[in-house]
Structure 1
Amino acid sequence: MNFWLVKSEPDKYGWHHFTEQARAVWDGVRNYQARNNLKAMQLGDQVLFYHSITSPGVVGLAKVVREAYQDPTAPDDPRWVVVELEPVMALEKPVSLAQIKAEPLLANLSLIRQSRLSVMPVRPNEFELILAMGRE
């Protein structure tokens, strides 16, 4: 199993939108590295849902329920793909970007090293630590 983090602006598509829909096609990704990460996602992989811009932080946990296929928002461009995600649970308390940056064990997290990337891998130990921080 792999672990990931996806970013979304809460005003455009936040955790509340995601849970209301109960399933999301993760579309519109137009960065090659983020696209490659989508292609690497496998059924059942766990995904941290991160709110960017306003009150940045991890707010929930999702899972991959459909692996990569052609992005319907770019039907004539085979370079772009989507995955489908379902919410698993909201964190008891959001794990803010400030908390993540303050934690030495998360110093190599892609979120800190490549802050503009919208879909990124997370190491198992980083994933477990962030979930634990969301339960404290």
Structure 2
Amino acid sequence: MFWLMKSEPACWGIDDLARDGRGEWTGVRNYQVRNFIRDRMRPGDRAFLWHSSCREIGLAGEMDIASAAYPDPTQFDPDSRYFDPKATPDQPRWYSVDVSFVTRYPRVITMAELRAVPELATLQVLAPGSRLSAMPVDPAHWKLIHERWR
């Protein structure tokens, strides 16, 4: 499967992933995204890393889903901004996956560039009000983006 996962580069972006090679995708607090992570993401899936809330919003690179889903450790840490007092080790509410670096694009592929391609009109991240931090990507969209920009 293919995914698009959003992150703010000031917090954690493609530069951090390239430097570290691997990282934990923690802090998800949306039930739909939690369900994608817990129920559908699998090791070996590929994901776009989307930079959000920054000067250059768009596709910054690619990563692999490198682990099966596991309980997000931040939900149990009272010092974390992602602490959830309702979560317990026996009944976790939130899940994470590890991701590993694949490639950094030479430049960010912007929303305007993606919107200019009619075949990408249904790419979920381009939909008005699209606020999910992770979402599936249609294989045809993945292929098209690779043909044009990679």
What interval of TM-score do these two structures reach, taking the shorter chain for normalisation?
over 0.9
Query: Would you identify which runs of 4 or more consecutive aligned residues in structure 1 move more than 2 Å?
Result: 131-135
TM-superposed CA distance for 1:62, in Å, is 0.4
Considering only CA atoms, is the larger Rg found in Structure 1 or Structure 2? 2
Query: What's the TM-score, normalizing by structure 2?
Result: 0.84
**C-alpha deviation, 1:106, in angstroms:** 1.0
- In structure 2, what is the equivalent of residue 4 of structure 1? 3
Pick the aligned partner of 2:126 from 108, 112, 118.
112
Q: Tell me which residue corresponds to 2:146.
A: 131
User: What residue is the counterpart of 1:50 in the other structure?
Assistant: 50
- 2:137 aligns with one of 122, 125, 133: 122
One-letter amino acid of the counterpart of residue 116, structure 2? A
Contact 2:18/2:104 (<8 A) preserved: no
Shift of 1:109: 1.1
TM-score of the two chains, using structure 1 as the length reference: 0.92
Matches within 5 A, 1:65-84: 65-75=66-76, 77=87, 78-84=92-98
Task: Note the residue ranges of structure 1 that are not aligned, 5 or more in a row.
Answer: none
Q: Where in structure 2 are the equivalents of 1:87-102 lying within 5 Å?
A: 87-102=101-116
CA-CA distance at 1:94 after TM superposition:
2.3
Shift of 1:44: 0.2
Identity between Structure 1 and Structure 2 (%):
39
Q: What do you get for the CA RMSD once the two structures are aligned?
A: 1.3
Deviation at 1:103, TM superposition (A): 1.4
Task: Tell me the amino acid that sits aligned with residue 7 of structure 2.
Answer: S
Alpha-carbon distance, 1:98 to partner: 0.9
Q: Provide, for residues 54-88 of structure 1, a one-character-per-residue CA deviation record: whole Å limited to 9, x for no partner.
A: 21110111001101110000136211000000011
Tell me what 2:65 maps to: 64
Structure 2: how far apart are the matches of 1:7 and 1:133?
21
2: CA distance, partners of 1:37 / 1:132: 26
Q: Name the CA distance, whole Å, in 2 between partners of 1:14 and 1:89.
A: 12
> 1:115 and 1:102 mapped to 2: Cα distance?
18
Preserved contact between residue 92 and residue 134 of structure 1 (Cα < 8 Å):
no
Q: Give aligned pairs, total.
A: 134
In structure 2, list runs of 5 or more residues that go unmatched. Answer: 77-85
